C-alpha cells in the first residue's frame, strides 16, 4: 500500500456504499416485477423502481459534488468519477428493463429472463458487499473474480434466450419487444462487470 502524507476524506466510502445499496433495492424490485400477477401490479413496482433510480441518481450527484469540492480524495479523481458513473449505469439499465416490460405490456416472459435477473441480483449483493472494503483495499479480488464469473453465466443465459426467441414460435413484434428487454438486462450485467473492473483498477493503483 502506498504511503500518503496528507489526510483523506473518508466520507467517499460511505457514499459509494450508499450508492451500491440502491442496486440491491433495484434488483429486488425487478425480481418482484417479474413475479407480479397482473399489469397493474407491474406498473406499481416499476414506479417504485423509478423512485429507486432517482435515489441512486441523488447518490451519484452527492459523490460528484463531494469530489468537486474536496482538496484531498482517497484515490484518483478520475477513478471516483468512473466508479460513480458505472454504479449509476447499473441502476439505469435495470430501471430501463422494468420500464420496457410495462410499456410493452409483455404478459409472459421466457424463463431465461428470470435467470438474467437472478444473476443481476447476485451481482448487486456482491457489489454492495465490496464497496465498504474500498476503505482498506483488502479482500477485493474474490469480488471481481466472482462478478466476472457471473457475467459469463449471464452471457450464456442471454445466448440461450436469443436462440429461443428466434426459433420460429413467436410473432415478429413479440420478438422485437422481448429482445429489447433481454438486451437491456444483458447491458445491466455488463455494467456490473464494468464496476468490478473499475474497482480492480483502483486496487492495483493503490497497492
Output the CATH code of domain 11-206: 1.20.58.220
| Rounded alpha-carbon distances, angstroms, from residue 198 to 38, 57, 75, 184 | 39, 19, 12, 21
DSSP state, residue 134: G
The model's pLDDT over 96-142, given as tens digits with 9 standing for 90+, comes to: 999 999 999 998 999 999 999 999 999 999 999 999 999 989 889 99
Domain residue extents for the chain: 11-206
Q: Please state the pTM of the whole predicted model.
A: 0.93
The model's pLDDT over 72-106, given as tens digits with 9 standing for 90+, comes to: 888 899 999 999 999 999 999 999 999 999 999 99
184 within 8 A of 93, measured Cβ to Cβ: yes
Reported confidence tier of residue 10, pLDDT bands at 50, 70, 90: low
Q: Pick the range with the lowest mean pLDDT from 54-58, 70-74, 180-184, 193-197.
A: 70-74
Amino acid at each position: 500500500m502506498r504511503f500518503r502524507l496528507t489526510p483523506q476524506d473518508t466520507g467517499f466510502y460511505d457514499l459509494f456504499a450508499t450508492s451500491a445499496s440502491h442496486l440491491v433495492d433495484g434488483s429486488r424490485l425487478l425480481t418482484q416485477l417479474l413475479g407480479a400477477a397482473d399489469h397493474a401490479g407491474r406498473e406499481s413496482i416499476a414506479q417504485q423502481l423509478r423512485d429507486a433510480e432517482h435515489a441512486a441518481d441523488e447518490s451519484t450527484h452527492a459523490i460528484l459534488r463531494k469530489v468537486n469540492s474536496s482538496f484531498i480524495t482517497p484515490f484518483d479523481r478520475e477513478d471516483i468519477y468512473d466508479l460513480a458513473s458505472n454504479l449509476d449505469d447499473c441502476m439505469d439499465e435495470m430501471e430501463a428493463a422494468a420500464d420496457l416490460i410495462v410499456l410493452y405490456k409483455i404478459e409472459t416472459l421466457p424463463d431465461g429472463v428470470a435467470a438474467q435477473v437472478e444473476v443481476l441480483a447476485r451481482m448487486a449483493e456482491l457489489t454492495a458487499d465490496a464497496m465498504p472494503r474500498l476503505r482498506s483495499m483488502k479482500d477485493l479480488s474474490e469480488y471481481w473474480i466472482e462478478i466476472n464469473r457471473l457475467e459469463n453465466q449471464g452471457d450464456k443465459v442471454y445466448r440461450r434466450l436469443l436462440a429461443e426467441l428466434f426459433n420460429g414460435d413467436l410473432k415478429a413484434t413479440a420478438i422485437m419487444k422481448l429482445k429489447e428487454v433481454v438486451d437491456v438486462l444483458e447491458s445491466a450485467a455488463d455494467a456490473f462487470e464494468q464496476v468490478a473492473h473499475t474497482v480492480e483498477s483502483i486496487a492495483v493503483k493503490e497497492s
